[in-house]
Structures are given as structure tokens and as C-alpha cells.
Amino acid sequence: MTASYPNLRMRRTRASNWSRALHRETIMTPADLIWPLFVTEGSAVEEPIASLPGVSRWSVDEIAKRAKEAAALGIPVIALFPNTPADKRDDRGEEALNPDNLMCRAIKAIKDACGDDIGILTDVALDPYTVHGQDGLLDAHGYVTNDDTVAMLVDQAINQAEAGADIIAPSDMMDGRIGAIRLALEMGSFHNVQIMSYAAKYASAFYGPFREAVGSSGLLKTDKKTYQMDPANAEEALREVELDLREGADSVMVKPGLAYLDIAARVKQRFEVPVFAYQVSGEYAMIEAAAAAGAGDRDALVLETLMAFKRAGCNGVLTYHAADAARLLGG
């Protein structure tokens, strides 16, 4: 600090548009956004999701159109989540390994339509495929087993890579899965397939609308606290991130977003690696509900919250507002 009032007036640089532009510390562009999309069976299908006003599930042909739209807006990556039909769900989530499942068909349709113009991030976890809605395999007591689950996740990841996935994103929080998936990708000659680890994922109350979107909310009878993190913990998040980096994650994610900005900032400062935040379904719903209630301007709320992630040090944000935000940013 070199001066004090009145020689220094902090408002001087805020007095005009041009000066605010000149002094802006953080820049956000459509290239900072990842757009999560939900896939459903059928063709020419759009199914609105009640708890996520403005978000729909799309059939495979429609998903390819959304991907083209994203590429045209300058969004570099879309994230895919399937709403698996009920008759294809079982105890073990075997449908995750089917090379012709919804996810794999969507990946191929998008690659056909867009080629290299868009990256495809795929979710690795079993909850969209199991009849119990948990992310892994259950033992006789209903506990989600670790090592048996990891074996399934490895096969799921390879299935997605074979279909053409660019970024494998394990969201399951099992121990050791990043190393196991990296090894399998290397052995399968998928050297350039990236891993974005959901490294610090919390057992959060903000996932409700997502579970409706993938059809697991009615199935899930308990919580996910034996594998997802306690919202009270921060040091533990740093340990999770360190482990995943050691095991070969190319980038790491913090999830949910807004309530965990301190975690994202600490991860960035400590590790200096690519960090992404997931502004999750409940956060999206909160903004939409606030705007619908007249409590704030929707577009301003969207841009302000997304900027907060960048200011905290995130390289990018997964958000259901991605296409709208890209348009607002002039993409």
C-alpha cells in the first residue's frame, strides 16, 4: 500500500466503464464452462425435469444437437449422464458395462456430429445403473464395498473410452479408483484419455434434482456418507486431492461448488493443478427459484456465481447454466 485517503481513493478506478474493464482481475469466457447433459431413450425426445426448470433429458439424436450448439457457443466440453430405463437396472449396475448402453450410443452420436470440436466427459459411478441408487456394489449388510466396486468402475471406464470418451470423470469416491482406471487406460492404449477426478466430493443436500434427472431418487433408501465426504472437513479434501493426483488424475474437481469455494481455493493454492468446480443441481435450482420469486435478476445471479469460481482459482465450472452463460458472455 503506497498512499492513503485522500491521495488514494479506491473509487477512482471504479468511476467509469472503461476503467472498470481495465482493472478487472478475473476474466470469464465460454471456454471456462462444462455443460452437463442428461440422456434418455427414444428419438426426438425432450423430457423436462421438474426440479430443474429449463433443463431436460434428451434422446441420443437430440444430444448430438445440443453438443453442436455447445461447440458453436465456444463451450469446450459437455458432461454426459444417462437416465437408464428401469428394466436395465440391477443390483450390480451391469448395464454400465454394455458397449451399446445409452452413454456409449450418445458418445458415438456426438463424435459423429462434432468430431474434434467438443470434448466428452463421462461420469464413472454405478448409481444411474443400480436398483438401489448407490454408486457401488453392496455387501450383505448394505455397505458399499470398495475394491469390488473399483473393479466394476475400471470396466465401466474402459467401456466409455472404447466408445470415444475424452475425459473419464469418476464421481464415486471409492479409494484407489484413479490409479486402477489410469493403469487400465494405459494398458488399453488410451494414453490420451484424461481423468478428471471428483476428488473432493461431499455428501451434500444439493444433489436432489440430479437424482431425479437420472431416475435414482426414488431408489436411494439411505445416504452416501460412507463414501462421500463430511461437509465439516477441509484437510481431508486436501488429502483426497493429493492421493488422486499421485494416482494419475489430470485434473481435480470440488463438488458442490458455491458452499465449498474455500476448498477450491485451497486446492488451487496448495497443488497448482487444473481445478474444476461443479455447480450442482441444487445450486442451479436455488438460482432459478430465487429468480422466479423475484428475489434477484437471473442472468446477473448466474454470471456473478460463475465468476466467483474463477476468482477462487478454478480453471472452469460444470454448470447447467453453461449454454445460457455462454450466450450472455457473447459466445
Residue whose Cβ sits closest to ligand PBG: 210
Least Å distance between CB 125 and ligand PBG? 3
The single residue among 35, 38, 202, 210 that binds ligand PBG, judged by CB under 6 A, is 210
Q: Does 288 bind ligand PBG (CB under 6 A)?
A: no
Identity of the residue, 114 or 284, whose beta carbon is nearer to ligand PBG in the bound complex: 284
Q: For residues 181 and 185, what is the distance between their CA atoms, to the nearest angstrom?
A: 6
Tell me which stretch binds ligand PBG (CB under 6 A): 41-49, 144-152, 203-211, 305-313: 203-211
Find the binding residues for ligand PBG in span 102-161 (CB under 6 A): 123, 125, 127, 135
C-alpha–C-alpha distance, residues 266 and 255, integer Å: 14
CA gap 286, 25 in Å, rounded: 27
Gap between the Cα atoms of 308 and 26, Å rounded: 9
Contact 44, 59 (CB under 8 A): yes
User: Least CB distance from residue 99 to ligand PBG, whole Å?
Assistant: 21
* Residue 33 exposure: Cα atoms within 13 Å on the Cβ side: 29
CB atoms within 10 A of CB 171: 19
Q: State the cell numbers at 158.
A: 474402459
Q: Is 118 exposed, middle or buried (0-12, 13-18, 19+ CB in 10 A)?
A: buried
Task: Say if CB 209 and CB 48 are below 8 A apart.
Answer: no
| Nearest to 287, CA basis, from 310, 313, 257, 312 | 257
- Which of 75, 80, 280, 312 binds ligand PBG (CB under 6 A)? It is 280
Residue 151 CB, nearest approach to ligand PBG (Å): 17
Regarding 197 and contact with ligand PBG (CB under 6 A), the answer is no
Nearer to ligand PBG, 16 or 222 (CB): 222
Q: Give the SS3 label for residue 173.
A: coil
Question: Cβ neighbours of residue 228 under 8 Å, at least 6 residues apart?
Answer: 173, 201, 202, 203, 204
Selected from 194, 197, 281, 305, the binder of ligand PBG by CB under 6 A is 281
> In this complex, which beta carbon is closest to ligand PBG, that of residue 135 or of residue 324?
135
Give the DSSP H or E segment for 292.
helix 281-292
Nearer to ligand PBG, 107 or 114 (CB): 107
Q: Figure out which of the listed residues 182, 211, 268, 310 binds ligand PBG, where binding follows CB under 6 A.
A: 211
CB of 209 to ligand PBG, least distance (A): 7
Does residue 171 touch ligand PBG according to CB under 6 A? yes
Name the segment binding ligand PBG (CB under 6 A); options: 25-33, 93-101, 176-184, 204-212: 204-212
Catalytic residues, which ones?
201, 255
User: Which of residues 135 and 166 has its CB atom nearest to ligand PBG in the complex?
Assistant: 135
Interface with ligand PBG by CB under 6 A: which residues? 123, 125, 127, 135, 171-172, 207, 210-211, 224, 280-281
